[in-house]
Structure 1
Amino acid sequence: MNPRQALTQRDGVARTETLRRLGVSRHVLRSSVQRGDVIAVRRGWVALPDADPMLLAAARRGVFLTCVTLASRKGVWVLGDSQPHVAAPARSGHVKVSRGTVHWNEPVFPRDPDSREDSLENALILIAGCQPYESALATWESAMRQNLIAPGILERAPLPPTARRLLADARQFADSGTESIFQVRL
């Protein structure tokens, strides 16, 4: 398999170790980087030159897209927050972001080390503590309405109190984020 095909399978950004497992040799990868077909993002990470800028930035910084940023990317309703939200492991040195929010945490659900996107379940848990209650509830209900999460999985997870409350209050059949917010205010 050539590096471009392998990277295309991984949304344009991948660990070199992953590409090697997919059959891309070190020599072929090194040659692709020298030709400019593939760019070196950071140690152990490469990308296609036209890769998604958000995934590329996350790979450069060693973080995961999460919280409202991930929810919005997945088509879930969020109350506008233009600043990127990223997650970094609680014990991971330092992360520099020029703007946005870094959530330093240990995820409830394991993160895929080959992806720069967190799971939607982890993102919803972070939203519970990051956003105001009514906004967070609207996002949770949107994810449920679109069947993007399984409430049963969340019910069995060790959720923090804010997330547990949202899980109990969220309705799967809410029609819109504004309806969710209106219901809370009533």
Structure 2
Amino acid sequence: MDWIDEHDGIRHVDDALGAGYTRYAIRRAVERRTVSRIRRWLVTPTARIEHRRAASISGRVACISAARELGLWTIDDGRFHVAVAHGASRFDAGDAVVHWGAGPVDPHRFELVEPVVNAMVQLADCQPLENALATWESALRTGTTTLSFLERLPLRSAAARRVLAGASQLSASGIETIPVARLRRIGIVVRQQVLIDGHRVDGLIGERLVLQIDGYDFHRTAAQRRADIAHDRRLTLMGYTVLRFDYRQVLFEWDTIEAEVRHAMAVGLHAA
């Protein structure tokens, strides 16, 4: 059925009936193998594997898996996450991470992906605080949700409330959120988007220690790189110390970054 392909390759049987297809037409399509059945879902070959897996256990794509599908910035943990209702039984989720129960937004039976706010709360409970914070700030930055709406939600999760308390819209990307959160955890305050010499810096510790965080290297042009280095030189001539780190260093060499920041502060490079 072309109608199913136009709707991500998977639709609920009752949805098809509501669209005007008869039970006979549905049965004939299944017999001819133009569509297949997964429980109460009609599926074509164009359906995503994540949607198929969720449908097979009457669940919904959840947590990181949902956030990624919804276009938010995430750090992938290499696992598939799915949500099922409280009391669900007799299903085989395989190696998926199962999230039980409902979130703040009630999902409906035609949904195969958790509402974005539910995915954010699940992520707060499931992932390290700084990773969850990066995804929450991505949702705020892209306008997917707003801080005022999140503050009005009855968040039962203590982890979600901690993430909400630390969330802001100051980071330009998730990779900027993580260093700020990690340094804050050990008592180092980083002010974000401080204007110096006509440009905003990613982070400023004290009065003179600047942190600059580069995103994916392959997204940066040579001209952008030269402009960044020129700005670093100007800041140095103005008496600032600039520590610049890239995406890979933040994710995989954090101990080195933390040590360099603490050593810089030990010799007073953050002081006026």
Q: TM-score, normalised by structure 1?
A: 0.92
- 1:84 and 2:80 correspond: yes
Note the alpha carbon deviations across 1:75-94, whole angstroms, 9 max, x for none: 21111211101101112124
- 1:32 and 2:29 correspond: yes
| Displacement after TM superposition at 1:95 (Å) | 3.0
Among the aligned pairs, what percent are the same residue?
32
Instruction: Give the greater-gyration-radius structure (CA).
Output: 2
In the alignment, structure 2 segments of 5+ residues that lack a partner are: 184-272
Q: Secondary structure at the match of 2:159?
A: helix
Contact 1:88 1:95 in 2 (8 A): no
In structure 2, C-alpha distance between the alignment counterparts of 1:175 and 1:56, rounded to whole Å: 34
Equivalent residue, structure 2, for 1:100: 96
Q: Which has the higher contact order (CA 8 A, sep 6+)?
A: 1
Contact 1:4 1:48 in 2 (8 A): no
Contact 2:8 2:46 in 1 (8 A): no
Equivalent residue, structure 1, for 2:57: 61
In structure 1, C-alpha distance between the alignment counterparts of 2:90 and 2:8, rounded to whole Å: 26
Which consecutive aligned stretches of 4+ in structure 1 deviate over 4 angstroms post-superposition? none
Equivalent residue, structure 2, for 1:123: 119
Note the alpha carbon deviations across 1:105-162, whole angstroms, 9 max, x for none: 2221111210210011000001111101111111111111111113232222110222
Equivalent residue, structure 2, for 1:73: 69
Equivalent residue, structure 1, for 2:2: 4
Equivalent residue, structure 2, for 1:21: 18
In structure 1, C-alpha distance between the alignment counterparts of 2:48 and 2:95, rounded to whole Å: 18
| Displacement after TM superposition at 1:173 (Å) | 2.9
| Displacement after TM superposition at 1:9 (Å) | 4.4
- 1:52 and 2:52 correspond: no
Contact 1:4 1:38 in 2 (8 A): no
In the alignment, structure 1 segments of 5+ residues that lack a partner are: none
Report the aligned-residue RMSD: 1.4
Aligned residue identity for 1:4: D
Q: TM-score, normalised by structure 2?
A: 0.64
Contact 2:5 2:46 in 1 (8 A): no
In structure 2, C-alpha distance between the alignment counterparts of 1:135 and 1:163, rounded to whole Å: 12
In structure 2, C-alpha distance between the alignment counterparts of 1:18 and 1:101, rounded to whole Å: 28
